[in-house]
Structure 1
Amino acid sequence: MTRRGRTRGLAGIAVLAVAGAPGTALAALPGTALAAAPPPTPVCQVRDERLTEISGMVATDSGFVMVNDSADEASRRRIFFLDARCAVVRTVAYPSRPRDTEDLAVGADGTIWVADIGDNDRDRSTVALWKLAPGARRPVLHRLTYPDGPHDAEALLLGGDGRPVVVTKQAGEAGVYVPTGPLRAGGSVPLARAGQLRLPITTTANPYSIFGRRLVTGGATAPDGRRVVLRTYADAFEFDVTDGDVVAALTTGTPRVVALPDEPQGESVSYHRDGRSLLTVSETADQPSGTRPTVLRYPLPEGPASPPPSAASPSAPAGSDGSPSGASPAANDAADTRVGAGGVRSLLLGVGVIVAGLLVVALVGAGRARRTGR
C-alpha cells in the first residue's frame, strides 16, 4: 500500500476505534500458541531501484519473485525474478495496466499468481488475479467481483485444489473469499464470502502500533500445502491445513504466532522452499535515503518438517537485466510477543493517545504524499 493509502486507512481505523465500531475488539483469542522470537537472519538486499514498493514475494528454487504495489512508473509495474542474492535476472510485463498488485502465490505446478486486489479507496468494481504459467511470456488476467461491495485486500492463499483464497485487510475480523466457479481468462467470476477470521492481539513493536497488529498485509502457502501463513505489519500467524481446506483452517484454527518486529513496512511473506522458515521483505519507498529492502529469514516454531514438493518451482531463464547484490545488514532486534491482561489494559489506556497521533500523521502524510493510492 502506498503512503497516501496507508495514512488514509489508518485514520479510518482510528475513527472506528473511537466510535466503538464492530471488528475492533482488543481481546486476544484464548489458547493462542505464542512462539519464541529469535532475531531474523538477513538473507540479501534488493538493490534494484525499481523495487522499493515490494508488496508481494514468493521464494523459488533459484531465488525469489517480487512485485511492487500501484507503481506509477511503467518500469516498476512488472513481475520481477531475482536470484538467491536478490539481483534481478528477468522481468515480465503485463499486457495491460494492473491497478494495485499486493501479493504473490506459487502453485504446485510452478504457476505464479499475482493478486491485483488492493483497493485503498474501495471503489473498484472488480479485482483481479494474473496467472503466469511456467514458460509463458505474459500473465493472463482473471477478474473477480465481491458479493458485498468493494474491499481492500493484500493477501492471497491457494487451497489444496489450487483454488485461490482472498483475505481482506479489514481491522479485527478479516473476510475470507473464494471464487464461485472456475476462473475465466478475460472474464469475471463472482466471489463468495466463505467466512471470517479474527487474529489474536499481540504486543509486537511495529511502526503503526496497535493498528499495525490488526491489518492483514500478506499471505503464503507452505510448499507441501499443509500450512498457510498470514502476516500483519507486526506478526505472522501460521495455521495448520487439513485435507487442503484453507478456509476451515483460517476460520476455525488456532494459529502459531511468530513476531516480525519493527519491519519498516512489512507487506510480504513467503515460506522458504524447505518449509522450515518464513521469509519477509519490506517496502522502503518512504524510508530514509539509502534504506534497501532486505529479505529476512525467521525460523518457524518446532514441529514436523515438510519435505520440498516434487513439482517444479518457477525459475528465471537466462538474460539478466539485474544489478549486483550487496552485503547483508545487521539483523533487526527481536521484540517481546507476550500477551496478557496487563498488555491488553496498557493498549486500552494508550489507544486514545495513539488515535490522536495517527489522525495527525494521516493529515500530514496525505498532504505530503508523493504517490496516488489506488
Structure 2
Amino acid sequence: MFVEQNVPLQGHNSFGIVAKARALVRIRGEADLQALLADPAWRAEPKFVLGGGSNIVLTGDVKPLVLKVEVPGRRIVADGPRATVVEFGAGENWHEVVTWTLDQGLPGLENMALIPGTVGASPVQNVGAYGVELQDRFESLDAIDLQTGRVFTLDATQCAFGYRDSVFKHVPAKEGDFGLAGRALILRVRLRLPKPWKPVLGYLDLERRMQESGVPHPTARQVYDWICAIREAKLPDPRVLGNAGSFFKNPTVTPEQCQDIIARDPHIVHYPMPDGTVKLAAGWLIDACGWKGKSVGNAGVYEKQALVLVNRGGATGGEVVTLARAIQTSVYERFGIRLEPEPVVV
C-alpha cells in the first residue's frame, strides 16, 4: 500500500475539472484496504471512494483520503441452462466489460453499451439505458466495510435498487437503518445473463434503426452496434469534451400531471411505466426551456443533447453547479417539475 500526496484529479473525473486529492491510495484488492485500515495514521481518516469519476462534479480539492478503485478481474463463475453468471472486478471499465461478454458469446448487456464509468460504480447508480437497468442483470456483489475491513455480500434485494438509486447512495436515518453511503467499497460484481437471450427493443431510436436496416430480428451484436452509434451521435466523448453523461434523472409524474402538461405542450416526450406513472424526458424539458447550447462561464449545455452538461474548457465545479441550478429553476417555473441531478457534487 502506497499513499500518494497532492494527486491531480483532472484525469480522474470525466468532466475534466481541475482539482487535487490531498492523499490518494490505489485499491487493487482486499489486501490494500486491509493494510490501510491497519495503519493508525489512516484508519480514522475520512475516506472518499473514486471509481471512473464519470458521475461526480468536483467543486474543489478533495480533503478526505481518496480510495481509487482499481480492482481487476473478469471470469465466468457459473454456466447453466437458464443463465450464465459472470464476475468482474470493481475497477474494470464498464463498456469494455459489455464488449467482453459479447466476445465470449454472452449477450444481455448490449443495451448498456458505452455507459461511462467502472463496474464498481454500476450498482451504486443502478445504471441503465434503452430499456435495461443493472438490476435486470444483477446477481450479487462483494463489498468491504470501510470501518471494520469485513467483506460482505449483497443480493439484489439488499441493494435496494431504484431508478438511478441503491442502498449505496443513502445514509442511515437512524441507528439500525441499512444505508451504505460512505461506509463501503465495492470489490466485485456478479451479473446474471439470461438464457435464452431476447432483445430489448422498445425505444424509438432502436425501432428506427430496425426499420432503416431492414433487420426485424437483430442479433445482440447488432443491438450493441446500434446503441453505440446512437450514443456516439448524441453524446460527446469525455476525452474530447468533458461531461458526466446524462446530468439529470428523467422525472416521473402521475398520468393526470402528464395530461396537464400535454394540454400545454403536446409534443412532450413521455413513456408510460409499468407501475402506472409516466416518465418524462428531462432532455426535452430542458430543451423546451431554451437551454440547448447555452453556457454559464465555461460550463454549457451540449448542442446535440440538452440532458448533457459539458466543460467547454476550464470550467470549474462551481460553474457546473450554477448552470445546473439555473436549469432546474427554469424547468420548475415552466412545468412545475423539479429535476434531480444524477452526479454527486463533491
- Give the TM-score, by structure 1 length: 0.30
> Rg larger in 1 or in 2?
2
Which fold has the larger relative contact order, with Cα–Cα distance below 8 Å and residues 6 or more apart in sequence? 1
- Give the TM-score, by structure 2 length: 0.32
Structure holding more helix per residue: 2
